[in-house]
Amino acid sequence: MPELPDIEAYIEALKARMLGERLLGIRLLSPFFLRSVDPPLEAARGARVEGVERLGKRIVLELSQSGDADPPDAAGAVDVADTPGETGAAGAPQNGRYFLVIHLMIAGRLHWKEPGAKVAKSPSLAAFEFTSGTLVVTEAGKKRRASLRLMRGREALAELDQGGLELMSATPEEFRAALRRENHTLKRALTDPKILSGIGNAYSDEILHRAGLSPLKQTRSLGDAELDGLHEAALSVLGEWTDRLREEARHAFPEKVTAFRAGMAVHGRFGAPCPVCGTAVRRIVYADNECDYCPRCQTEGRILADRSLSRLLKDDWPRTVD
């Protein structure tokens, strides 16, 4: 799933290509992608892009629809296809401020193409036609988890906010309070959008490795010094990766967003040597995810039990790296 650094890279690239541009139309290629009906999607046609921002792991396009704006060129306009809930006088755009909200979930990705580009229906979910180019949303696999919503006004947009702390602007005191509200493992706390905003599976592994903390340690078992160290680790990891990916996005649109990046310390590096101590990286596999960690740097040499493999091996499961 694209996380805070990846979303910020997308935003960097989108701002350069669409700020001030007009949305000529939307080709909705999968009806399951659209999760709102009021206002109708057609209400956004002809609006100008006033801003691009992040809301948790969502990408938000702020659109201004003014009554005195010139209507889009009929020859260049694109009809909204397969859109439920189109009402009003021929779907006429209404005055006001709208927000297109895209949540890519696990397998959704963005692509930028030339204006009027032909777009294959699969794996594409939608194509947004701007005067400057075409933004295409795709989703790999058969599960349709990515979503699109059109919201009218900031109050409606705020309803999508899950309440997680924006870590990059949070004080150490706010960070400690957020993690201690409930008692969870550090892995769960870092990835819970109701606790912290924008962090997922990949960067939580990197943060915990940088902090030298076990992913299974309980939040309320940590003292102030350990939580402050975790806060500093989170700021440094997210800051470094955000700066790196933004810089790359200034030169080319980020077409290959992945959770497994060269230069990561532990995430996606099962069996590879830890860049700090050389110990083989271990993992815990659960559901559709895995948690990667260094047993020497994070768990005092202990190998954490895997819910499936450790039960299978029982007494043969190694307890330590030694």
Sequence-ordered list of residues with C-beta below 8 angstroms from that of 131, at least 6 positions apart, any chain = 21, 22, 24, 76, 115
pLDDT in tens, the chain (322 residues): 899 999 999 999 999 999 999 999 999 999 999 999 999 999 999 999 999 999 999 999 999 987 544 444 433 343 444 433 333 333 444 467 999 999 999 999 999 999 999 998 889 999 999 999 999 999 999 888 999 999 999 999 999 999 999 999 999 999 999 999 999 999 999 999 999 999 999 999 999 999 999 999 999 999 999 999 999 999 999 999 999 999 999 999 999 899 999 999 999 999 999 999 999 999 998 767 889 999 999 999 999 887 654 444 344 445 666 6
The packing angle between helices 224-251 and 201-211, to 10°, is: 130
Tokens of 247: 């810089």
Output the pLDDT for position 319: 61
Q: Which residue has the tokens 């190694």?
A: 318
Q: Which residue has the tokens 């396009």?
A: 61
The CATH number given to 167-316 is 1.10.8.50
Tokens of 274: 């830890």
Q: How far apart are CA 65 and CA 71, in angstroms?
A: 10
Determine whether 277 is exposed, middle or buried from the number of CB atoms within 10 Å of its CB (0-12, 13-18, 19+): exposed
Output the pLDDT for position 95: 61
| 8 A C-beta contact, residue 143 and residue 107 | yes
Q: Is the pTM of this model over 0.95?
A: no
Q: How far apart are CA 235 and CA 103, in angstroms?
A: 24
User: Would you identify the CATH topology of the domain 4-158?
Assistant: N-terminal domain of MutM-like DNA repair proteins (3.20.190)
Parse the chain into domains and list their residue ranges.
4-158, 167-316
Phi and psi for 129 in degrees, rounded to 5?
-90, 115
Output the pLDDT for position 125: 97
**What 3-state class would DSSP assign to 34?**
strand
Output the pLDDT for position 290: 87
Q: How many CB atoms lie within 10 A of CB 95?
A: 11
Output the pLDDT for position 289: 81
What does each C-alpha distance from 257 to 22, 38, 58, 204, 271 come to in angstroms? 26, 31, 15, 17, 23
Output the pLDDT for position 73: 47
| 8 A C-beta contact, residue 123 and residue 140 | yes
